[in-house]
Amino acid sequence: EAEVAQSPRYKITEKSQAVAFWCDPISGHATLYWYRQILGQGPELLVQFQDESVVDDSQLPKDRFSAERLKGVDSTLKIQPAELGDSAMYLCASSLGPDFVSYGYTFGSGTRLTVV
């Protein structure tokens, strides 16, 4: 079964440092999503890409977070500077297209970020 690859699996960083997460979606999946999941809560959408273009980044804290998908394949999510409140699981998901009802999402295993 095809998987969404994410790395690193775990990351510990100090407050005010920069941190980056990488996601490789399932081959052929044009739509890519980054979610943040705080412990005990459900995932919340940060950004959605369609190919290399941002479709929705309305919930991305743009003062410190950035995301790119330069060639429309893999993607990087960056936080600079990291704050204690950024400690969370960062999940990447992909789908064939933006029509969730028809395609659904496939999630990766996530990157667990701890800011100290």
Residues in contact with other proteins by CB under 8 A are: 4, 33, 40-45, 48, 50, 55-56, 58-59, 89, 91-93, 98-101, 104-110, 112
Closest approach of other proteins to the CB of residue 51, in Å: 12
CA distance 114 to 94: 24
Closest approach of other proteins to the CB of residue 77, in Å: 14
Nearer to other proteins, 16 or 97 (CB): 97
Nearest residue to 34 via CA among 13, 4, 14, 63: 4
CA distance 83 to 20: 14
Closest approach of other proteins to the CB of residue 28, in Å: 18
Nearer to other proteins, 22 or 105 (CB): 105
